[in-house]
Structure 1
């Protein structure tokens, strides 16, 4: 990589004695502080070529704690932001930094750098950036301005943010067999946005939600995410629907440092350890939902693990739910090797093969944990209810509770009665503070729309985000909002349980509620433990 704007010659980091790293940083930071605006980009470009390999080497060493590395990454991200006069400069510096990180990672994996040297270099780097943020050294005036409460300057360069508006995007199914899930999620978010906009918005800015239809097909998700990011210029993503689509959407968002908030999925792809910096979940995971229902079936309904099967969509969504059941089996001391998995293909109601597998099972299955969408779940119940009158059917929350109940009641009350759905929000028939607030807002902004578990989840997720936006203040950008979210503790939204985030915790709620459909097609609360 050529030397850009610095008199310090570039050398390979692996060959640089650790004691020189701090000295090098002092020289570069001093030149940065006094540099003209156009020169700061060149100084940071040079820094990226030196910091990146150290970060990459440390990431390749499993014994080096990830939080230590993340501190440096966060500070250098702030450096890039302060030094960039426009979006193109920021993207260019970010890509350069990422390439440098990759080269450092490769230096360890190919044996050119050992982990003892990587540890020493990281320690020296930590000492060199201790104290005030690097961004303060590179652009002290703008760093100080960010701490004031003055309104943003007209023509702010933060993507998706103007002095009057903050734009968010949602990629979800608005067509196809799962379209009700997308419609309800958008409905809940719009309800929350309308409510805050009527109260003056956030720091005078109106919240706007732009939707893109991926049909619940991951092959379409890359295009919808690109549309939202490049054409619609959204500030962040909220409420995306589905696991197979998240497999595509999450990497897209992470590569662009785009906030990915409150997705309608409990899959582990959004729940890495340590968490991905830009991915935040409201809801409990599928593993937590399936663990709760397996324990319910074994401890309260007195079933043996071998009497429980899984009906699952044949993709990442189904895989995630199945993995949760397997984990619950192991936690109960049971083998997970012989769990019967009954599959169906996404966006179809072709369940005949699954039904035939169930018929062939000896001894007979007495409960099915369903990781499906509402139409496929209803079809499976329709085809098996008469064969197994005592069968216990349990669904995870993604199924679409209202849509499932409606489908089953069209078949007759006997198909619906007793069907269980685990929920990640309180009962919509209840009287908790958040439910009453949601119902009032829904009736005001969307008269005629019935309360629904999916739209309630969208409403709650959006309100958590609104709280973070308020705390971030008028000088809004993604990095600041992420920092605010990671500092949110014990947020009381009227759920009956508080919500919290942290640097090591990007899932706000771990609460599971149990519900079952009655003979009128309404959900009633049940105790899961």
Structure 2
């Protein structure tokens, strides 16, 4: 009987070894979906058109600029990275449908470069069920950070960190106390509102007024009316570029000139374009530095990004959003490199957690751990000046 068991185990071992050398074998697929001998498949769902299309398109272009560069050099351990992309229009149900398709039909190894809070938060149950990594989301939502999730890899600083830094600047440096909040009425806006409330609390302050708009609309007039009536000295804005630009333009036309502060998701470059010659005090916090390289700011990571963006997307202008996508791709690639040739989802996560103080050339070291899945911490302040947002080092 013992001899029979040994023979059976030997046969099974031989079968498994044979499976290891056959990329499309069912056992290999179960252990490492999306991995073949010469390819790693990852999937993305984000807005490629509509009212948030600029954000999704630029995030994707920045990421693909680096990935195409890596592929042109032969890929990672002999495997090129293939990115399967679906447009969700910044619509949560479409994002869920796309993600199900990526996991079940396309059998991707990981999810990558998702965009937006209301969309990304909705896929978390799918991530947990499939135990699939999701890497580099263009959102600072707290729900992606707490509670800790082994399969969620955030790269950027959170909205709580952005609003916390902004409130400190408004209250301590600009000596403003009457602060209102204008926000998108969904998970994104609620997260920004809560972050602002938390940041105001130590100063004994609360928002003097709040105003909202519905995602996908430009119905900002009622929110503006409520905030103007409060006599706010500053407005924290948690929205996207079109409604925020309209709010600021209408405020300016009505002679209402507080400090306007926006979180990074607004899309600063597109906001500046839409504002045109509007002359108001406008601040946007960023989670990456401005991509332009000057004689006094030789950030080699930003310079590398500009060179590769010009090579692969020559029609695009360097901007904050695509630089963030580019950095997301560098994190994905670093994890794949460290995981080695014998790649699976668990070894990939372990490899990400092994990254400590990695210099990406953006004046902000990248670090992860088993208990901390947010790689970058720094918040940068930019101010509208001559039609563009300029970095002032705080």
**TM above 0.5:** yes
- 1:181-200 map, 5 Å: 181-200=55-74
- SS of match in other structure, 2:383: strand
Q: CA deviation at 1:390?
A: 3.3
For the structure 1 residues 302 and 164, does the alpha-carbon distance in structure 2 shift closer, same or farther, using more than 3 Å as the test? same
Which of 202, 205, 214 is residue 88 of structure 2 equivalent to?
214
Is 1:301 the counterpart of 2:169? The answer is no
Question: How many residues get paired?
Answer: 380
Equivalents in 2 of 1:319, 1:152: separation in Å? 50
Is 1:523 the counterpart of 2:389? The answer is yes
Aligned to 1:315: 186
Equivalents in 1 of 2:200, 2:39: separation in Å? 49
Which of 210, 218, 223 is residue 349 of structure 1 equivalent to?
218
Equivalents in 1 of 2:391, 2:300: separation in Å? 17
Aligned to 2:282: 419
Aligned to 2:203: 333
Contact kept? 1:385, 1:391, Cα under 8 Å: no
Which of 200, 204, 208 is residue 78 of structure 2 equivalent to?
204
Which of 365, 368, 390 is residue 498 of structure 1 equivalent to?
365
Aligned to 2:338: 471
For the structure 1 residues 342 and 140, does the alpha-carbon distance in structure 2 shift closer, same or farther, using more than 3 Å as the test? farther
Q: Give every structure 1 segment of 4 or more consecutive aligned residues whose post-TM-superposition deviation is greater than 3 Å.
A: 33-40, 139-142, 151-154
Equivalents in 2 of 1:36, 1:316: separation in Å? 55
Which of 443, 465, 473 is residue 310 of structure 2 equivalent to?
443
- SS of match in other structure, 1:517: strand
For the structure 1 residues 505 and 140, does the alpha-carbon distance in structure 2 shift closer, same or farther, using more than 3 Å as the test? farther
Q: CA deviation at 1:385?
A: 1.5
- SS of match in other structure, 2:140: coil
For the structure 1 residues 317 and 37, does the alpha-carbon distance in structure 2 shift closer, same or farther, using more than 3 Å as the test? farther
Normalising by structure 2, what TM-score? 0.91
Equivalents in 2 of 1:526, 1:389: separation in Å? 25
Bigger helix share: 1
- 1:9-48 map, 5 Å: 36=8
Contact kept? 1:168, 1:235, Cα under 8 Å: yes
Aligned to 1:260: 134
Q: CA deviation at 1:387?
A: 2.8
- SS of match in other structure, 2:127: helix
Give ranges in structure 2 of 5+ residues lacking alignment: none
Give ranges in structure 1 of 5+ residues lacking alignment: 1-32, 41-138, 146-150
Q: CA deviation at 1:368?
A: 0.6
Equivalents in 1 of 2:75, 2:341: separation in Å? 11
For the structure 1 residues 140 and 495, does the alpha-carbon distance in structure 2 shift closer, same or farther, using more than 3 Å as the test? farther
284-293 vs 223-232, which moves further: 223-232
- 1:210-249 map, 5 Å: 210-249=84-123
Q: CA deviation at 1:389?
A: 4.8
Q: CA deviation at 1:229?
A: 1.4
Contact kept? 2:292, 2:303, Cα under 8 Å: no
Contact kept? 2:42, 2:108, Cα under 8 Å: yes
For the structure 1 residues 140 and 246, does the alpha-carbon distance in structure 2 shift closer, same or farther, using more than 3 Å as the test? farther
- 1:2-401 map, 5 Å: 36=8, 153-155=22-24, 156-157=28-29, 158-273=32-147, 275-304=148-177, 307-330=178-201, 332-336=202-206, 338-361=207-230, 364-401=231-268
Cα deviation digits, residues 243-300 of structure 1 (max 9, x gap): 0011211221121101111101000110024x10100100000000000110000111
Contact kept? 2:114, 2:136, Cα under 8 Å: yes
- SS of match in other structure, 2:123: helix
Rg larger in structure: 1
For the structure 1 residues 516 and 258, does the alpha-carbon distance in structure 2 shift closer, same or farther, using more than 3 Å as the test? same
Q: CA deviation at 1:220?
A: 1.5
Equivalents in 1 of 2:275, 2:253: separation in Å? 14
Q: CA deviation at 1:413?
A: 3.8
The structure whose RCO (Cα within 8 Å, separation 6+) is larger is: 2
Q: CA deviation at 1:154?
A: 3.5
Normalising by structure 1, what TM-score? 0.69
For the structure 1 residues 365 and 447, does the alpha-carbon distance in structure 2 shift closer, same or farther, using more than 3 Å as the test? same
Bigger strand share: 2
